[in-house]
Amino acid sequence: MTQPSPPKILINPPVFFSSAILTLTLVMFVIVFNDLATQIFSNTLSWISSQLGWFYVLSVAGFLVFIAILTFSSYGRVKLGSDHSQPEFTNTAWFAMLFSAGMGIGLMFFGVAEPVMHYVSPPVGDPETAEAARQAMRITFFHWGVHAWAIYAIVAMSLAYFAFRHGMPMTIRSSLYPIIGERIHGPIGHAVDTFAVLGTLFGVATSLGFGVMQINAGLNYLFDIPVGVTTQVILIAVITAIATGSVALGLDGGIRRLSILNMILAAALLAFVLIAGPTVFLLQTLVQNTGMYVSDLFNMTFNLYAYEPTDWIGGWTLFYWGWWIAWAPFVGMFIALVSKGRTIREFVLGVLLVPVGFTFMWMTFFGGTALNMIMIQGITELSDAVAADTSVALFQFLEQLPLSSVTALLATVLVVTFFVTSADSGSLVVDRLTAGGKEQSPTWQRVFWAVIQGVLAASLLIAGGLAALQTATIASAFPFAIIMILMAWGLMRSLRIDVAKHSSLASPRLTNSHMTWKERLKTLVSLPSKKEVLSFIENTVKPALTEVSEELKAQGVDARVESSEDGRVWIEVRHGEQIDFFYSARPHAYEPPALIMRDTQSKQMEEHKYYRIEVHLGEGGQDYDIMGWTKETILNDVLEQYSRHVHFLSQVSQ
């Protein structure tokens, strides 16, 4: 049988074309009016730092508080999926993927540079002192800690919740449905997804800019290749071509293999630094740095240095908050895709604690070793090199350790693979957003966005290097920060309805009271076969649901009964703009209990599986069995569940 060919184009035109035109317009403006663009970037960064710093700080603090409330309240029990869904990945596999998501070019670029720069030039206090070193690590932890992952968690949670629990497209606009309803499919929804695309493009372009600067520094260290914008643009072109090839291979052939390679190389480099560096000192500082971070978390969160006016916060904290917000659609979608079936509490604790723990180790082992070299070993040329060019920090650092040529080559390869996976994954996410949430799209569309990301990164480097990258990130994050606030609001509204509905369904179930106690006992210990339950569904359950459906239709209500080849049968009652009612009976296989099958060999267990007929509502399985019930009792159960649904709708509409 011939398989249908994939569509040649699969886009949401308003989002695709507006995103592409806006990005290409910016690129052309930067190329044609380079000096003017540089001046605009500089003025924009100064204005945002002085006028909007409070908004970024307050927003990010609010995101963290919001996540904490969801985690430790009754909402934490809600699943990112139906109530009966189970995680698709084991905890080990899930943690490994979070570990991969928590890494990137940023760790390579700032692992050595940031602690050293804060040590040499702290926001307050005397530089190059023990107190400056403690403050440097505390600030580094603050920038790379739970705030970043709270931002990611809100976007990932919203995407997973509305996609897996409510069956909506995995796009940013879906999370606004509780606020604006069907208007998400109009101009407002298009604008929301467009801002998400632009934020992702600028966030990924910033990482690519950092990455190519560091690759250039590594190649200069290893092979004396000159450092400059021309070389960096050439490198962007070459590595974007590699990323494009990875995109063409697809998720399994490209991103998955490169991600595994990333993990192996990063773990090897981290272990080397721990062993070759001052091991005991690093373990001590890891504990102390973590303790300082936790104890000062509240104070650092709201510190705007209002009483010590400084440009420092714009170049550091605001840049990081903007970077994380710009990256949120990208990282959030990746995390959402691998988190189906987990409760909100389990999801948040995993997303916040696992990547942050690894990041703290990375920053301590690299940054702590660098500070030890400067403070204790007297290698002051390291701080001078970092001050002169942050992109060479990692390679100047590795030069002080054994096997510097080997580790420098390893670091360069690692940055390249991070570059490729960032461009590859970013293009897949942008393509999905511009395709209206569709998973499968033509290869040319993903290639198009991979190329656009490379061109954008190159143009920003031409327009002013690091300052232009920082400005683009902070500016693009502003509209998406507002969208994230609305996402949190929409998520909370939907969760409140979810929990209210769950509570309204929590009253005692009907029992098969028509049976004698002996008949009920027989039902409890019987082990129906698949054939028996399928026959019961066809001859008893389906007629009962059909009777309910016909009576509802006679009352002018839109109701229908459907079935599937695997034995499921369900009734769906539609309520227009309100939440529809869904009641399904489905066969479910179980292993026979040991007390009944104690003499059965394990190899025979498959033959002796028994089946239950379980009830599922719109929010998932209800954990009770209707096998053996009379038609009248099943009718009453459907009506009882429907009456609770109607009562729930009346509560929601008040």
In DSSP notation, 377-400 reads S--THHHHHHHH-GGGHHHHHHTT
Nearest to 375 by CA among 48, 133, 651: 133
Q: For 548-571, how does the pLDDT look when each residue is reduced to its tens digit (9 = 90+)?
A: 999 988 888 899 999 888 888 999
Q: Which residues of 211-249 are buried (b: 16+ CB within 10 A; e: fewer)?
A: bbbbbbbbbbbeeebebeeebbbebbeebbebbbebbee
Which pLDDT score is estimated for 196?
86
- Higher-confidence residue: 490 or 96? 490
Which pLDDT score is estimated for 252?
47
Q: Mean pLDDT throughout 259-265?
A: 75
13-500 CATH, one of 1.10.3470, 1.20.1740, 3.30.310, 2.20.130 = 1.20.1740
Tokens of 340: 């189906």
Which pLDDT score is estimated for 99?
63
Q: Could you give phi then psi for residue 455, rounded to 5 degrees?
A: -65, -40
Q: Judge whether residue 143 has pLDDT over 70.
A: yes
Which pLDDT score is estimated for 168?
79
Angstrom distance (rounded) from CA 448 to CA 179: 33
SS3 call for 52: coil
Q: Judge whether residue 637 has pLDDT over 90.
A: no
Q: Is the dihedral of CA 543, 545, 548, 550 positive or negative?
A: negative
Angstrom distance (rounded) from CA 446 to CA 430: 8
Which pLDDT score is estimated for 253?
46
H or E stretch at 620:
strand 620-625
- Higher-confidence residue: 438 or 345? 345
Q: Judge whether residue 4 has pLDDT over 80.
A: no
Angstrom distance (rounded) from CA 281 to CA 279: 5
Where exactly are the structural domains of the chain? 13-500, 513-653
Tokens of 526: 């019987």
Torsion on CA atoms 595, 597, 602, 605, rounded to nearest 10 = -120
- Higher-confidence residue: 129 or 242? 129
Confidence of residue 520 (pLDDT cuts 50, 70, 90): low
Q: Judge whether residue 84 has pLDDT over 50.
A: yes
pTM given for the model: 0.77
Which pLDDT score is estimated for 512?
55
SS3 call for 39: helix
Which pLDDT score is estimated for 515?
59
Q: Judge whether residue 602 has pLDDT over 50.
A: no
- Higher-confidence residue: 240 or 469? 240
Which pLDDT score is estimated for 1?
41
Which pLDDT score is estimated for 56?
87
Q: Judge whether residue 8 has pLDDT over 70.
A: no
Q: For 332-369, how does the pLDDT look when each residue is reduced to its tens digit (9 = 90+)?
A: 888 888 888 899 999 999 988 888 888 999 999 999 99
Q: Where are the alpha helices (DSSP H) in 76-228?
A: 91-101, 105-120, 130-144, 146-160, 177-180, 187-223
Proportion of the chain above pLDDT 90, given as a percent: 21
Which pLDDT score is estimated for 329?
84
- Higher-confidence residue: 311 or 198? 198
Q: Judge whether residue 598 has pLDDT over 70.
A: no
Which pLDDT score is estimated for 654?
53
- Higher-confidence residue: 465 or 155? 155
Pairing, β 558-563 against β 581-590: unpaired
Which pLDDT score is estimated for 384?
87
Angstrom distance (rounded) from CA 106 to CA 405: 22
Which pLDDT score is estimated for 482?
92
Which pLDDT score is estimated for 519?
63
Q: What is the mean pLDDT of the chain?
A: 81
Q: Judge whether residue 141 has pLDDT over 80.
A: yes
- Higher-confidence residue: 96 or 427? 427
Q: Mean pLDDT throughout 369-380?
A: 92
In three-state form (DSSP H/G/I as H, E/B as E, the rest C), the secondary structure along 164-190 is: HHCCCCCCHHHHHHHHHHHHHHCHHHH
Q: Judge whether residue 309 has pLDDT over 80.
A: no
Question: Do residues 333 and 429 lie in contact, with contact meaning Cβ atoms separated by under 8 Å?
Answer: yes
Which pLDDT score is estimated for 195?
85
